[in-house]
Amino acid sequence: VMRLSSALGRVKPSATIAVSQKARALKAAGVDVIGLGAGEPDFDTPDHIKQAAIEAIARGETKYTDVDGLPALKQAICAKFKRDNGLDYTPAQVNVSPGGKPVIYNAFAATLDAGDEVVIPTPYWVSYPEMAALCGATPVFAEAGVADGFKLKPETLDRAITARTRWVILNSPSNPTGAAYTAEDLKGLAEVLRAHPHVLILTDDMYEHIIYDGFQFATIAQVAPDLYERTLTMNGVSKAYAMTGWRIGYAAGPETLIKAMGKVMSQTTSNPCSVSQWASVAALNGPHDFLEARNAAFKTRRDAMLQKINAAPGLTAPTPEGAFYIFADCAGLIGKTSAGGMALSDDLAVCEALLTEAHVAVVPGTAFGAAPGFRLSYATDDAALEEAGQRILAFCQGAR
């Protein structure tokens, strides 16, 4: 029989990918399923970015590049950090990996040993604990629940840090809640981190550009310059530029860490796709005016969906500051029975019943370490979203 590694035995498969696959299978079987499980914009990659990729292919930019990123892309990333975040980084402080996910994995692989701890606020993005576990470390969860606006409080962070803590992860705007830290919030967390000089900080700023209602994005190395030396500021092109399939993520931080991450890549993936790197140069250096219209569309969808969720008996959700997710608390449904006779014993059962009876696919809160609840993505077209909202509302009204 096939014996798998003990590290893999500690890892769960991605729940978000599982939901998408199940929804796709139902759709293929002819069921009219609306999938609100996936974490990607429904918009297309802007044309000027696609064009840059086509030109790169025509120029013959189809060979290996420097392992951790093309010089031109590293330059564009340094310029982005300066322009958007007021952060000074040199190209030697920049890593480019095949997606934001591999950036984090490479950082963990380069720094974590068995017994090390990684502090992860809950609800969390599904991959953080699993990537830490894959590297032999222990995830330590720090509750940032709905009562706190899904934001980690300084005292909660302080309680979670031990002598074994290697990393603290911050993610703002958050997947799965859309909650985002203000500069003031980050100053409070920085105060705690200042007292624990052995802790590295990973800030996942993937959704930086997807924010609403005039929210001012802030990132910790900018707000607390004294933490710059031990912060890895991570970002990517996947969400802002609708480039999920191109697989480019990046980060900037201490040169020693960046070198170590490059060493991991040199023996695993080698460089990210050369063509995608050139497309990313165009994305970062190019016009950003398309963001405004896209964010306006997201905001309209967010508000329409929130209104239905908060009108649905048994569901509540706060207004997210960013990203394209709503995290709904479904405590009011637990213990009831659906119209189709399914026992709603926990959020997994709620999501199963929603998919089976209402044909709407969402991801259970359990997958994000926060039950009972579910995450839905509103990055889908208005008509489908309107219909999904009606179905969720009717499902909740039908539960007894």
Residue nearest to ligand PLP (CB): 99
- Which of 179, 117, 136, 170 shows the shortest CA–CA distance to 323? 179
Q: How far is CA 334 from the centre of its chain?
A: 27
CB-wise, 236 or 389, nearer to ligand PLP?
A: 236
CB-wise, 98 or 314, nearer to ligand PLP?
A: 98
How near is the Cβ of 120 to ligand PLP at its closest, in Å? 12
CB-wise, 35 or 99, nearer to ligand PLP?
A: 99
Query: Which of these segments, 96-104, 153-161, 332-340, 387-395, binds ligand PLP (CB under 6 A)?
Result: 96-104
Q: According to CB under 6 A, which residues from 157 to 176 bind ligand PLP?
A: 171, 175
CB-wise, 171 or 274, nearer to ligand PLP?
A: 171
- Residue among 139, 249, 253, 272 that touches ligand PLP (CB under 6 A): 249
3-state helix/strand/coil string of 192-212: HHHCCCCCEEEEECCCCCCEC
How near is the Cβ of 236 to ligand PLP at its closest, in Å? 4
CB-wise, 333 or 379, nearer to ligand PLP?
A: 379
CB-wise, 35 or 100, nearer to ligand PLP?
A: 100
Residue 17 · residue 38 · CB < 8 Å: no
| Contact flag: residue 206 with ligand PLP (CB under 6 A) | yes
- Mask for 112-131, x = binds ligand PLP (CB under 6 A): -------------x------
CB-wise, 89 or 128, nearer to ligand PLP?
A: 128
Positive or negative: CA dihedral 325, 135, 249, 258? positive
Task: With CB under 6 A as the rule, give the number of residues binding ligand PLP.
Answer: 13
| Contact flag: residue 39 with ligand PLP (CB under 6 A) | yes
Positive or negative: CA dihedral 133, 157, 249, 318? positive
Tokens 């039908």 locate to 398
How near is the Cβ of 246 to ligand PLP at its closest, in Å? 9
- Residue among 111, 238, 277, 380 that touches ligand PLP (CB under 6 A): 238
CB-wise, 156 or 175, nearer to ligand PLP?
A: 175
How near is the Cβ of 171 to ligand PLP at its closest, in Å? 5
| Contact flag: residue 204 with ligand PLP (CB under 6 A) | yes
d(CA 131, CA 141): 14
CB-wise, 273 or 349, nearer to ligand PLP?
A: 273
The crossing angle, in degrees rounded to 10, of helices 274-285 and 47-59 is 140
Query: Which of these segments, 42-50, 83-91, 98-106, 298-306, binds ligand PLP (CB under 6 A)?
Result: 98-106
| Contact flag: residue 99 with ligand PLP (CB under 6 A) | yes
Q: According to CB under 6 A, which residues from 381 to 400 bind ligand PLP?
A: none
Binding site for ligand PLP (CB under 6 A): 39, 99-101, 125, 171, 175, 204, 206, 236, 238, 244, 249
